[in-house]
Structure 1
Amino acid sequence: MTETRNETRGASVIVNVLDVLRCFTVQNPVVGVTEIAEQVGLHKSSVSRILATLEQERVVDRDEETRKYRLGVGLIAIAGPLLANLDVRQVAYPLLEALREATGETAVLNIWDGSESISVEQLPSTHLVKHTSVMGSRYRSGLSATVQVFLAHEDPERRAELITSGEIDLAGTSPAEYEARLDLVRERGYAVNYGETSAEEVGVAAGILDHRGELVACAMTAAPYYRIGTDELAQLCSSTRITARRISTRLGYQSEG
């Protein structure tokens, strides 16, 4: 019973915090404690405590002259990953279409959730025989092309943690060999899965960088193994890398080279 009451109270606190944040609008960007209390139906002391906590986390800022509050940059940091993913999906779509047309194969957009690569967009090949997957599919095989790209850009300590914990399946590859493989991915700017996770599939992935130079997604081309020889693989690598670079440019990334 105590646990249930605590869960209910916790949910209620979260609802109150969200109600307070909703008081900040485009029409009324600066709001005081009394106004918020009246809108959400809470005592002013409760509103003050909520705002004090949010101010500590920079989710709201207080104007020293008026003593009123406005939304702070901390909220942008919280929403940043979501906004980046939504932006990259919108920006990437027409370029993924061009990638599909150039290669004739399936073009895919993946994002990283910290331990898995997730497909968030897919434009199937126009061929009768094609390689596709269910939207939202998650990948944690270290031999997956997108996983290689994401791990190649991951913080070294986090990458080592994922590998040693077994969260990333190296499929018999030693950690040292795998790190060498990731070094190559970073050097050439793309990764290849040539029938390694499935004898019937080839995947080529390249990283997409935003205006900060941070990896936010991967562009990938997926194709049936039987259709991809040496020359076709080289074409997939070139086209996928160029597409990722173009998406990055549209996101504001400026190459140093």
Structure 2
Amino acid sequence: MDKTLLKGLRALEVLATSEQALGVTELAQRMGIVKSNAHRILQTLVAAGFATPVQDTGRYQLTLKLWSLGSAVAVSTDMRQLAAPILGRLRDATGETAFLALLDGSQVTYVEIHPSARAIRVHTAVGDRMPAHCTSAGKILLAHDASAHDEPDAIALRSEFKKILSQGYAVNRGDYRKEVSGIAAPVFDTQGKVIAAAGISGPTERFRTAVVKEWVPAVVRAGADISRMMGVKS
């Protein structure tokens, strides 16, 4: 168990539940640690953006970063619940596994999965992580994230990103695992920001060009429907 991390988390709890900003001595007393440790923890929290010094007081208070992280978790949970029936319909319409995925650095995390009923299917579980640059979900998310276009794995995909943005969806044809392909479309929030990817994945042998063309409208519609459920106006 990482005791340093535990102390940092405990400091966050103490600051979050305090009715006023705290100084080094007060934090040390409440946590039962020496002042030098309390000072080091506070400086780390400030450097990480979780706390800020209150001018000319020697005290510290939390920033909104912790609230922002908690809000992101709440949004993700709400989005999963709202997306579930839409993904179920997408799965039924295509016969392939339907998913909702989020961008997490250079990877995508699958937060909702509706498995195909077919005997031969893609086995993806909630919580699975995969490289963003070689999955359909990752490509659509990276394409909409200009800050990611200079990442080493994404530089070679810039021309593909332009195509993805133009057509409104991304296709993966065995880029990560040759036997697995997928299609993904963006999910927007009310500010016009892409916050997730909705799509389908399945055996590459079933993702023939004609079939992909047939499935694309259903995938794009699923992304749009989830966006509307998140409050985006048509």
The answer for the alignment partner of 1:237 in structure 2 is: 216
Bigger radius of gyration: 1
TM-score normalised by structure 2 residue count: 0.74
Aligned residues: 233
**Aligned-pair distance for 1:116?**
2.4
Question: C-alpha offsets along residues 221-256 of structure 1, whole Å, 9 cap, x if unaligned?
Answer: 12344545556423421111111122223334457x
Question: In structure 2, how many angstroms separate the alpha carbons of the residues matched to 1:49 and 1:224?
Answer: 52
The answer for the alignment partner of 2:7 in structure 1 is: 16
Gaps of 5+ in 1: 1-7, 165-174
Question: C-alpha offsets along residues 146-204 of structure 1, whole Å, 9 cap, x if unaligned?
Answer: 2321331233564452246xxxxxxxxxx3xx433221111121112345656654411
Q: Which moved more, 1:35-44 or 1:122-131?
A: 35-44
The answer for the alignment partner of 1:168 in structure 2 is: none
Letter in 2 for 1:122: I
Q: What's the % identity of the aligned pairs?
A: 28
TM-score normalised by structure 1 residue count: 0.69
The answer for the alignment partner of 2:230 in structure 1 is: 251
Aligned equivalent of 2:64, options 51, 69, 73 = 73
Q: Secondary structure at the match of 1:247?
A: helix
Gaps of 5+ in 2: none
Letter in 2 for 1:251: M
Question: C-alpha offsets along residues 12-59 of structure 1, whole Å, 9 cap, x if unaligned?
Answer: 544333222212456x54364465444311345754664466457653
Question: In structure 2, how many angstroms separate the alpha carbons of the residues matched to 1:51 and 1:143?
Answer: 40
Residue 91 to residue 79, structure 1, CA distance change in 2 (3 Å): same
Query: 1:153-192 maps to which residues of 2 (within 5 A)?
Result: 153-155=144-146, 158-163=149-154, 175=156, 178-192=157-171
Aligned equivalent of 2:187, options 208, 212, 216 = 208
The answer for the alignment partner of 2:106 in structure 1 is: 115
Aligned equivalent of 1:30, options 20, 25, 31 = 20
Q: Secondary structure at the match of 1:220?
A: strand
Residue 64 to residue 146, structure 1, CA distance change in 2 (3 Å): closer
RMSD: 3.8
Q: Contact (CA 8 Å) 2:16, 2:62: kept in 1 or not?
A: no
Q: Contact (CA 8 Å) 2:99, 2:112: kept in 1 or not?
A: yes
Question: In structure 2, how many angstroms separate the alpha carbons of the residues matched to 1:84 and 1:188?
Answer: 27
Question: In structure 1, how many angstroms separate the alpha carbons of the residues matched to 2:101 and 2:67?
Answer: 23
Greater percentage in strand: 2
Question: In structure 1, how many angstroms separate the alpha carbons of the residues matched to 2:109 and 2:33?
Answer: 41
The answer for the alignment partner of 1:150 in structure 2 is: 141
Residue 216 to residue 195, structure 1, CA distance change in 2 (3 Å): same
Q: Say whether 1:105 aligns with 2:84.
A: no
Q: Contact (CA 8 Å) 2:95, 2:118: kept in 1 or not?
A: yes
Residue 195 to residue 83, structure 1, CA distance change in 2 (3 Å): same
Q: Contact (CA 8 Å) 1:58, 1:75: kept in 2 or not?
A: no
Question: In structure 1, how many angstroms separate the alpha carbons of the residues matched to 2:176 and 2:50?
Answer: 43
